[in-house]
Structure 1
Amino acid sequence: MKLFLYFLLGIVYLFLQLGNLKADTYPDVIFDNSLVSGVYAKSEVRYEGDSWVENLNRHLLVSDTLFFTPGNALSLQYRSGKSGDWQAELKYSRQKLHYQLNNTDFLVLKIFIKSEHTSKKQLPKIAIRQRDNESEFLDLASFIEDFGYSTWLNVKIPLSRFKNLNMEEAVRAVRFYQNESDGKTHHIFIDQVEFLSKNYSTATLSSAAILSSAVAYDKQIHLQWQLPLTPSIRYIKIYRSEDNTNFQPVDIRPITMQGCFTYVPEVNRTYYYKIAWVDYNYVESPFSEVKEVRTQPLDKDKLLDLVQAAHVNYFLENYDINSGMYLPSRGKDKAVVSVKESGHAVLSLIVGAERGLIQRQVVLNRISRMVFFLLKGQHRYGFFPAYFDGRAGVPDYRGGEASYDVVATTTMIEALLVARQYFSNENEAEADLRNRITQLWQQVQWNKAIMLNTDDVLVEHISGIDTASNASLQYATLGGVNETMNAYILGMAAPKYKLPLSAYENGIKKIQFDSLHLDQPVDSIYSDTLSWSLNPYDFVHKQLQKSQEDTLISVLPLRGSILKDTIVYGEKLPFGWDNHSLLELYKPFFTINPVNLRDKEVDYLSAIKNYILARKRKDNEVGVGSTHSDIWGFYQFRDSIGGFRVNPAIAPAAMFALRDVGERSIDALYQHYGNRLFTEYGFRAWLDLRNDDVSDEYFAGNQAAVSILLENARSGLIWRLYSEIPEIKEVMEQLFDEHEKKN
């Protein structure tokens, strides 16, 4: 398993430099491949009158045999009637940060005209849809280079030709429309729909590609390559053979990756691989040398190793080279990094170091870079904004509001304290890291983040501009069984500016009832553009829109006990029953061992187990589209549409409380859906079995839950390190009696 990540260690810096160099020219993709065979669920077909478009459940069909880039293309078969109309839309869901339009860019795509009676006038029109508007239609044929049949044609359209296109607004979809009507059926194929910068390198790829290794893990083949700093490389193209003679293209990968998993149909079989670099005009380099690999099944522990390593790898690769912080997406003009998810990255990287997946020194250097960045970064009373510009080192305020995030700061500081405990060797580098972490820890003024007229109730944000005495009134208070527990414990354990111990009863064990909730994306601003979660537990709130003329009584939040004994699906649920994601219930226990949390009213470990069992029973009863009871974990369902999505982190991460439940889920997800759901970064963000769809993105919270909670279930590593933090140990002893401490 060490081979899975060791190769990255010596070249990760080079790789990220390459990514930064190409940030302004690298394309944003609308469509390159459907992750699911049969239909492309991120398409939508409409027609009326005597027009028609071939579809399955209103989605375009996928061609697995005819494609421009492996492994598939879209099939568009249509009839343009004189008294009808049709359209087919390709939704933009690839990038977490929407593509920023530039008037000098191009929309490019490949088409294959199968029906030889199709003239240029019968080819569709094309438009770009944005949130609030749509561009005017353009004739696709006007931009085809070298028109012909039964061959792939290049279409290149300057964005400047699309009238009514708002360059400041995000792209939502590319649409194809009926053009000239003739009553005949036409058939074309579409592939590689993407936005491309005007200026890209055309340097010839004369050197052979370098495939470093091919290692089999069950039906997953882990390929690694050595990518040169050649600016004209667009893709890595992967070829496979079963006889070392007849090689077929099976996959492509972007240059932001130094390796990947590729799926094979059988175990106990020998396969052969080679790769080629591909330039922006899709001209290939000479092939690499061939690597031979033989597949073999994995036992239970090896499968857990594989799953955990892949989720750790997500945080190893996705970071900003300047700050070391977690990078949700590589933007064109700046690197927006997330403070909260960087905390998740710290814990995951420590897991990787302890398991021998990453060299300890690499993790030390990465975390040290984060700490240096944060020490220089802008803060208010020690609290950080949710996001920074990793290159400029300044806050990146979302929605135009200058505020500082208490929960994001908590997650980061808490993870760094775990790192302080882990890097305990008496050498200069580790001692320096510990000292700098302590400096960050000591600067947090928890007493500046409290609700008016209290000394033990935290608010979710601190305003960056409002210094009035009642500034905290505009933000909701924190409380409940969620990651805000960690904020209160840190506040009570703080070396300076600490919260009183009463914050346990008045803060953690009470929630705010009078705040309005916002539907938030699972991964905050970087969520999959098609997915919106249910409200997270009790700390994400809409700002209270109260007039400054209101009386103090009318604006003070209404808070009450978290306890609401309920029995659902045969289980006693002490905090009531709702439709929130279990992932929010898990997050406090990334660091806190639930065994250590028990008071006279609540045994938290028993409560967690009951919630897991009740939610599993509900999901099994409703049905997620699978006949396997171990596949469960709704995070979203839309009854009016019938779309159900399973978060594949929820059931596996349950291992920390119910090991057998989590292990069975991992096995079921991998064995039945691993070919579409599991990659070099772990499980994808969601799986929709009813609509035969899968996300093409990942959520940091998901990847962290699997990497960290599996480790806690297997070794208790993060729990142990957290419990040994002197300040945390002291406050936990003060909060809980001798009975709980012995357990």
Structure 2
Amino acid sequence: MIRISVLVFVFSFFGCGSNPDKPKENEAENVTAVKLTDDELLDTVQKETFKYFWDYAEPNSGLARERFHPDGIYPDNDKNIVTTGGSGFGLMAIVSGMSRGYVTKEEGVQRLDKIADFLAKADRFHGAWSHWIDGNTGKVKPFGIKDNGGDLVETSFLISGMITVREYLKTGSEKEKAVAQKYDALWKGVEWQWFTNNKNVLYWHWSPTYDWQMNFPLEGYNECLITYIMAASSPTHPIDAKVYHEGWARSGGIVSAKTKYNLPLILKHNGAEEFGGPLFWAHYSYVGLDPNQLSDKYANYWNLNVNQVKIDYQYCLENPKKFGYYGANYWGLTASYSRNPDGSIGYDAHMPGNDKGVISPTAAISSIVYTPKESLAVIRNLYENHKKETWGSAGFYDAVDLQNKWAAQRYLAIDQGPEIVMIENYRSGLLWKLFMNAPEVKQGLVKLGFKSGKYGF
């Protein structure tokens, strides 16, 4: 998963895991003659992107590879490295795929069962999984020299998916109930309170070798809100509410009075206080957490996210750096693969404060719940007018620079996953409903002082 909250983690997802299988032949190489309806277009994107987590999953574990390169060429031969956080999005994608009939219920349950069994045997650190896992062995794959232990943020993204799976299966057949129970047991094993290190804040990392030396307290605002909500919701190892208020919210210091394009930022975006951060901050915590009518004493979370997306959109319309093609049907800045000055593929945290002329399709696509008209304009433009350059075997490529006729013909789990999940939430609200109606989630949100008119608390 991408780490953008602090600049030292900006490039963290450059080493994603992948798939050895060659992609299936792209059936739609050219612009289609018949114009699809909006729903047909969304279904096409959702279904093709789903292949990332189904056809191109890591075969031994069933989990999401960190990355997928259709050409089969991977640096460091890391094609079996799976991503913990991206696999959480993948669990939600599988639920969506079952509900849509992209795979049968039986196929989905079988895959989910396989994943649960693998995770039960994989390395854990006070209940938390590592950022990367070797899909062959279940052993930690160090993300960095000192990042060789538990990753609480990645774990929280994974747990969001686990709870969603449990809720989807818990009233089904005996087999489905058994799989639901496996996920229930897995998430209850995370020792959230221990990751406070006896302070009133959660810490991102702990290593059995380096202890707390990474020293990364989770302070808002960035993509980590869901970590506190999961920690407060735990029925076995919960944090106290003061950890949220004093740590994440910095005793109220999280609130911002700044505006951009006459839109209030509402909260202080770490390191990006003029325009707000990369758009995945409006996605990762909210794949299951429904921001509609959700508020606490610091923010209305619907307004927070809508404003962040609209600021990104308005910036691209303004286009102060005069990049080609930017406009109402070509916008969206977030962390993704990127085009280096020499034309090679790199990785960067694109946002208005760090604009390199590279549009990440996931930025607009995963924002469809907030800006449906504007997001659909990007989807339709890329699909109808630039399909040959931007579309591959698992949906839209990860990054595009139309001015330089360039696309990163690669995929990342952390970008493909939110596309599927947010399209599903836009179309049906399914994943939001499943997650938000989990009793522990409601209790955790109430504990932290959240209110939701939509879900009755």
Correspondence 1:320 to 2:64: no
Change (3 A) 1:361 1:483: farther
Correspondence 1:298 to 2:36: yes
Measure the CA separation in 1 of the matches of 2:313 and 2:363.
10
What TM-score comes out, normalization by structure 1 length?
A: 0.52
Correspondence 1:490 to 2:230: yes
Aligned to 2:375: 662
Compute the displacement of 1:723 (Å): 0.9
Aligned to 2:81: 336
What TM-score comes out, normalization by structure 2 length?
A: 0.83
Compute the displacement of 1:435 (Å): 1.7
Aligned to 1:264: 30
Compute the displacement of 1:410 (Å): 1.1
Change (3 A) 1:621 1:263: same
Compute the displacement of 1:305 (Å): 0.8
- Kindly indicate which of the two structures has a greater share of residues assigned to helix: 2
Contact 1:309 1:357 in 2 (8 A): yes
Aligned to 2:318: 621
Contact 1:450 1:472 in 2 (8 A): no
Contact 2:16 2:412 in 1 (8 A): no
Compute the displacement of 1:738 (Å): 7.3
Instruction: Within 5 Å, give how 1:635-646 maps onto structure 2.
Output: 635=334, 643-646=356-359
Task: Render the CA deviation track for 1:183-216: whole Å, top value 9, x for unaligned.
Answer: xxxxxxxxxxxxxxxxxxxxxxxxxxxxxxxxxx
Measure the CA separation in 2 of the matches of 1:635 and 1:415.
22
Q: Secondary structure at the match of 2:82?
A: strand
Measure the CA separation in 2 of the matches of 1:479 and 1:619.
28
Contact 2:82 2:132 in 1 (8 A): yes
Aligned to 2:385: 672
Correspondence 1:718 to 2:431: yes
Compute the displacement of 1:308 (Å): 1.1
Compute the displacement of 1:371 (Å): 0.8
Measure the CA separation in 2 of the matches of 1:407 and 1:318.
24
Q: Larger radius of gyration, structure 1 or 2?
A: 1
Measure the CA separation in 1 of the matches of 2:192 and 2:102.
36
Aligned to 1:376: 121
Change (3 A) 1:596 1:372: farther
Pick aligned residue for 1:590 from 264, 280, 287 = 287
Contact 1:649 1:702 in 2 (8 A): yes
Instruction: Within 5 Å, give how 1:41-60 maps onto structure 2.
Output: none
Measure the CA separation in 2 of the matches of 1:739 and 1:428.
34
Contact 2:131 2:151 in 1 (8 A): yes
Compute the displacement of 1:465 (Å): 2.3
Aligned to 2:10: none
- Percent identical residues: 23
Pick aligned residue for 2:259 from 541, 549, 567 = 567
Change (3 A) 1:726 1:265: closer
Pick aligned residue for 2:331 from 632, 635, 654 = 632
Compute the displacement of 1:310 (Å): 1.2
Q: Secondary structure at the match of 2:403?
A: coil
Correspondence 1:440 to 2:191: no
Q: Secondary structure at the match of 2:52?
A: helix
Superposition misfits of 4+ residues, deviation over 4 angstroms:
95-99, 329-334, 636-643, 737-743
Measure the CA separation in 2 of the matches of 1:321 and 1:565.
49
Contact 1:624 1:632 in 2 (8 A): no
Instruction: Within 5 Å, give how 1:61-140 maps onto structure 2.
Output: none
Matched positions, count: 413
Task: Render the CA deviation track for 1:204-261: whole Å, top value 9, x for unaligned.
Answer: xxxxxxxxxxxxxxxxxxxxxxxxxxxxxxxxxxxxxxxxxxxxxxxxxx96234423
Pick aligned residue for 2:203 from 424, 442, 459 = 459
Letter in 1 for 2:27: F
Contact 1:624 1:645 in 2 (8 A): no
Measure the CA separation in 1 of the matches of 2:389 and 2:119.
38
Contact 2:17 2:79 in 1 (8 A): no
RMSD of equivalent CA atoms: 2.8
Compute the displacement of 1:624 (Å): 3.8
The farther-off stretch of 633-642 and 721-730 is 633-642
Contact 1:482 1:587 in 2 (8 A): no
Contact 2:60 2:135 in 1 (8 A): yes
Contact 2:17 2:78 in 1 (8 A): no
Contact 1:387 1:397 in 2 (8 A): yes
Contact 1:570 1:614 in 2 (8 A): no
Measure the CA separation in 2 of the matches of 1:335 and 1:375.
18
Measure the CA separation in 2 of the matches of 1:730 and 1:403.
29
Correspondence 1:417 to 2:194: no
Measure the CA separation in 2 of the matches of 1:369 and 1:405.
22
Compute the displacement of 1:388 (Å): 1.6
